[in-house]
Amino acid sequence: MDVELNIPKSNKPRVVVIGGGFAGIEFSRALPEEDFQLVMIDRNNYHTFQPLLYQVATAGLEPDSIASPLRKMFDNRSNYYFRWTSVEKIIPQENYILTGIGRLDFDILVIAAGSKTNFFGNKEMSERAFEMKQIPQALDLRSQILQNFEKATITADPLERDSLMDYVIVGGGPTGVELSGALAELKTHVLPSDYPELDFSLMNIYLIEGSPTLLGPMSKFSQEKAFKYLHKMGVEIKLNARVQSYDGKKVKLVDGTEINSSTVIWAAGVSGSIIDGLKEESIFKGRYKVDEYNKIIGSENIYAIGDIAAMVSTKNPNGHPMVSPVAMQQGKNLGNNLKRKLKNETLKPFEYFDKGSMATVGRNKAIVDFPHPFDKLHLGGIFAWMAWMFVHIFYITVFRNKLLIFINWLWSYLTYDKGNRLIIRPFKRESNKPRAEIKELYETKVE
Amino acid sequence: MDVELNIPKSNKPRVVVIGGGFAGIEFSRALPEEDFQLVMIDRNNYHTFQPLLYQVATAGLEPDSIASPLRKMFDNRSNYYFRWTSVEKIIPQENYILTGIGRLDFDILVIAAGSKTNFFGNKEMSERAFEMKQIPQALDLRSQILQNFEKATITADPLERDSLMDYVIVGGGPTGVELSGALAELKTHVLPSDYPELDFSLMNIYLIEGSPTLLGPMSKFSQEKAFKYLHKMGVEIKLNARVQSYDGKKVKLVDGTEINSSTVIWAAGVSGSIIDGLKEESIFKGRYKVDEYNKIIGSENIYAIGDIAAMVSTKNPNGHPMVSPVAMQQGKNLGNNLKRKLKNETLKPFEYFDKGSMATVGRNKAIVDFPHPFDKLHLGGIFAWMAWMFVHIFYITVFRNKLLIFINWLWSYLTYDKGNRLIIRPFKRESNKPRAEIKELYETKVE
């Protein structure tokens, strides 16, 4: 029945994993290849190292260095199949999924589809704001930023110039903090020499956060340090602030403040990329409700790991935080548990080992909260920044990418420059014939 | 009158250079900054190192490493203005040009707009074939190649699979030779481990050349060596062959041969990117006819350099070859001549110093023809290949790019891998509102 995806039947149980993010990758690494056939589905043909997306958006890194082709990553694995497509529906009663390219049967299904931007129903924002979840989005934002300054250079209208040079970032979590820090560095070190005609004291970067602090889940030390760093770098931070409306040119906050900005970046929240087909009782606040073995409540052979899984307990009444360490650990634990199950060994319930958390604000500026039992310890400044770089290079999957990122960072550090200032927008061919075919193909594959 | 582009009047003569390719860059470097106001116009905000475009298309290099932002390149220069736009018309009588963003006056105009793909009137090809002149085109081809194999993996139709796995490259010049060599290496070293389901003996690479030899202007030694290399690598070379028709699936040659291929790359010729507005008598075979100082015939203050200039002489009845050394040397000579003219010194007529030529076919395989008086000397094999790499890294404009390219090449050499296997197609937003605005902006800027 799975003839459509051209995957041969195997005498091993078939595990289908949806998503090649941190959870899917770690799961696939832990799953023993001799005991299972593994099929990975992703709508991109590469794994994205999301923590560094903001550096792609701000010209610090080229996209290729934070992406790893998913076929390459497992090309030594036997009985592994990758299919580049989206998943449209799960039919749990009959153990198959419907994808953009056809039907695929499974013995075990692992949903690691991650999360998508949550606009909390704000239609204006969902239509006009930039997102930061995928590489094409980061490239889109990079082009937009550079185009803004090209346009600001030639406009005679001061209001338009103002709108082109002002940035509003909604959400004071790690993405919002890191992105506004990177924009502030562009403003200080890179853009003024590129655009000598412009007065960069007119460039304002606003960071809007609904709660009373930045970096909600981090320590008070880190929250205050991040605030201080950003403030010193010229970012205007508005806490306890909420966006009321946005018409593409002007952001209105609930307190009445108006900001002219043609570029709003929405980093205020994510929700699970739920797929059609499972019962309502399996879903909890936009994520799949799972037991302590990551099995979805109400299913026998369907699991969820990473951002999309809500493992509710007294300690975590809303499930674990939607961060990569949880995803990686759940993926690994599930991979090992499937092996244990096959051998009739006792399964190991998931336990989150919190490794602490960190965020970077800019050159020599970062913050680190250490994990239990050192959770009274915090680090700021250059040592935190070096730790942040080390950890990120360590977790980058492919050695070649480690090398490229290291060189880019070293280069930027020595020269204060960010080299990837290319405006690359979709290319328009003279005829739209082949383009139309391509577009069609693309649109069936990506939501 | 040039208020539209927001460039202040200067007491120095204003030189407007159209195009930031090799000719425009070298011209701008040679032009003394204290004596002129310099305005550069380009439809990209970056300089493209075109000789390595084929490596972007075949996943060997990331696009950012062969591009240098044009603002950055001259950010130390005073009285320099860059404008990101296209040029629509020249009004020579009144000394101004019309651009996508408004009118711009000039005292001296230098046209360095380069060349575009010449389909020689073949409408089918112009609609369906891939080009290799710009970075977005190379990225488009890279995505196409990878998508082809994703599709070939799942199709049940052997004819379709055949068409997806076969490549036709039209034109046996350096681009055609280098591209077919790079495809052959992908076939041998990279793709089989990515797509274990596919039988790569079915992948055929055809190189179609209308004349009796590859690499027309090179020595017999190099022509034969290139043929031998490619033949050994499995490329099917068809000399004295011409394309008759192409419907998007099947290429028909004039001799009746039919090739199923969904991907045809057209590298068979270029012509000057002529701009509207100059008299007919200024144009010679699709290029501007210039005197020995690169001044366009019939003009007083309008020059053309590089691919777009035809400097006709008894030695070069069709003008110089459209290659980067000519462009660079003409740019430099013109920059120096404008200075001489200002000081009433004798101008220096352009003389082409042929530095020889080279092409690479693949790993350890390249050919070099030495220049006069060593033109009996030729080099092949690993030493030619090393010379080719050295020369290309030497001519890459930005040091950071030299470093990134060196690392990429070293990495590929050691691992036989090509790391940039990302399918990145235009990103579709949920709403097309902001996208529409962007598209409009984009389309006014790029032909």
Q: What is the pLDDT of residues B154-185, one digit of tens each?
A: 998 999 999 999 999 999 999 999 999 999 99
**If you search the block for the tokens 């960071």, which residue do you land on?**
A207
A219 C-beta neighbours (distance < 10 Å), count: 19
- A2 has pLDDT over 60: no
Model confidence pLDDT, tens digit, residues B369-415: 999 888 889 999 999 999 999 999 999 988 889 989 998 899 888 88
pLDDT at A14: 97
Chain B contact for A419, CB < 8 A?
yes
In this prediction, what percent of chain A has a pLDDT beyond 90? 82
Asked if A283 and A260 sit in the same domain, the reply is no
- Chain B segment 335-364 residues within 8 A of A by beta carbon are none
| Cβ pair A425:B438 closer than 8 A | yes
B137 vs A326: which has the higher pLDDT: A326
Chain B CB contacts of A146 under 8 Å are: 45
- A27 has pLDDT over 90: yes
Band of pLDDT at residue A78, cut at 50, 70 and 90: very high
Chain B CB contacts of A428 under 8 Å are: 442-443, 446
Say what the alpha-carbon torsion angle A167, A169, A172, A178 is, to the nearest 10 degrees: -70
Model confidence pLDDT, tens digit, residues A116-131: 999 999 988 988 999 9
d(CA B261, CA B79): 51
- A440 has pLDDT over 60: no
Q: Provide the domain limits for residue B102.
A: 3-117+271-342
CATH number at residue B51: 3.50.50.60
Domains of chain A: total: 2
Band of pLDDT at residue B422, cut at 50, 70 and 90: confident
Asked if B131 and B259 sit in the same domain, the reply is yes
pLDDT at B432: 28
Band of pLDDT at residue B127, cut at 50, 70 and 90: confident
- A3 has pLDDT over 90: no
- Contact indicator for A349, A336 with CB cutoff of 8 Å: no
Look at residues B35, B92, B41, B103 and name the one whose alpha carbon lies nearest to residue B301: B92
Band of pLDDT at residue A301, cut at 50, 70 and 90: very high
- Pinpoint the alpha helices (H) of B155-239: 158-165, 174-185, 191-194, 220-232
Chain B CB contacts of A442 under 8 Å are: 425-426, 428
Q: Which amino acid is at A150?
A: E
Asked if B133 and B249 sit in the same domain, the reply is yes
pLDDT at A257: 96
Pair of tokens at residue B71:
């603002």
Residue A167 CA: distances (Å) to CA of A33, A148, A283, B45: 48, 10, 36, 21
Interface A-B: count of C-beta contacts within 8 A:
195
- B434 has pLDDT over 50: no
DSSP label of B183: H
| A402 → chain B, closest CA residue | B407
- Pinpoint the alpha helices (H) of B60-105: 70-73
A309 vs A2: which has the higher pLDDT: A309
A74 located within any domain: yes
d(CA A131, CA A264): 9
Q: Flag the least confident range among A183-187, B423-427, B443-447.
A: B443-447
pLDDT at A264: 95
Phi and psi (nearest 5°) for A46?
A: -140, 155
- Pinpoint the alpha helices (H) of B292-447: 324-342, 381-395, 399-415, 433-445
Burial of residue B374 (CB within 10 Å: 0-12, 13-18, 19+) is exposed
Of A342, A371, A386, the one marking the end of a domain is: A342
B435 located within any domain: no
- B337 has pLDDT over 60: yes
pLDDT at A4: 77
Asked if A105 and A138 sit in the same domain, the reply is no
d(CA A214, CA A420): 29
- Chain B segment 113-132 residues within 8 A of A by beta carbon are 126-128
- A190 has pLDDT over 90: yes
Model confidence pLDDT, tens digit, residues B236-253: 999 999 999 999 889 999
B15 located within any domain: yes
A5 vs A170: which has the higher pLDDT: A170
The arithmetic mean of pLDDT across residues A206-235, rounded, is: 96
A423 located within any domain: no
The C-alpha of A212 sits at a distance from chain B's nearest C-alpha, in angstroms, of 31
* 3-state SS assignment for residue B253: strand
- B90 has pLDDT over 80: yes
Asked if A337 and A398 sit in the same domain, the reply is no
- A398 has pLDDT over 90: no
d(CA A14, CA A35): 9
Model confidence pLDDT, tens digit, residues B253-266: 999 999 999 999 99
Calculate the CA B393 to chain-centre distance. 17
Of the partner residues A46, A137, A442, the one whose CB lies closest to the CB of residue B422: A46
- Contact indicator for B287, B307 with CB cutoff of 8 Å: yes
DSSP label of A159: H
Mean pLDDT across chain B, nearest whole number?
Answer: 91
Asked if A111 and A134 sit in the same domain, the reply is no
Of A292, A313, A342, the one marking the end of a domain is: A342
pLDDT at B136: 87
pLDDT at A437: 38
Of the partner residues B67, B154, B439, the one whose CB lies closest to the CB of residue A422: B67
pLDDT at A425: 67
Residues 6 or more apart whose CB falls under 8 angstroms from that of A294 comprise: A303, A304, A305, A309, A311, A330, A333, A334, A337, A350
| B192 → chain A, closest CA residue | A75
- Contact indicator for B117, B310 with CB cutoff of 8 Å: no
**If you search the block for the tokens 């002002």, which residue do you land on?**
A166
Mean pLDDT across chain A, nearest whole number?
Answer: 91
Residue B302, beta-bridge partner list: B109
Chain B CB contacts of A137 under 8 Å are: 427
pLDDT at B431: 27
Asked if B249 and B238 sit in the same domain, the reply is yes
pLDDT at B423: 85
Say what the alpha-carbon torsion angle B33, B34, B35, B37 is, to the nearest 10 degrees: 50
Asked if B195 and B61 sit in the same domain, the reply is no
B430 located within any domain: no
A447 located within any domain: no
Chain B contact for A410, CB < 8 A?
no
- B325 has pLDDT over 70: yes
- B438 has pLDDT over 80: no
pLDDT at A182: 97
- Chain B segment 201-260 residues within 8 A of A by beta carbon are 248
Band of pLDDT at residue B425, cut at 50, 70 and 90: low
DSSP label of A371: P
- Contact indicator for B142, B58 with CB cutoff of 8 Å: yes
The arithmetic mean of pLDDT across residues A346-364, rounded, is: 95
Residues 6 or more apart whose CB falls under 8 angstroms from that of A103 comprise: A1, A2, A4, A5, A96, A97
Asked if A281 and A303 sit in the same domain, the reply is yes
Asked if A264 and A275 sit in the same domain, the reply is no
Of the partner residues A44, A197, A429, the one whose CB lies closest to the CB of residue B6: A197
pLDDT at B11: 94
| Cβ pair B139:A419 closer than 8 A | no
pLDDT at B54: 96
* 3-state SS assignment for residue B42: strand
In this prediction, what percent of chain B has a pLDDT beyond 90? 82
pLDDT at B445: 32
- A432 has pLDDT over 50: no
| Cβ pair A101:B154 closer than 8 A | yes
B146 located within any domain: yes
A214 located within any domain: yes
d(CA A421, CA B82): 14
Asked if A329 and A388 sit in the same domain, the reply is no
- B446 has pLDDT over 70: no
Asked if B40 and B153 sit in the same domain, the reply is no
B157 vs A431: which has the higher pLDDT: B157
The C-alpha of A246 sits at a distance from chain B's nearest C-alpha, in angstroms, of 12
CATH number at residue A370: 3.50.50.100
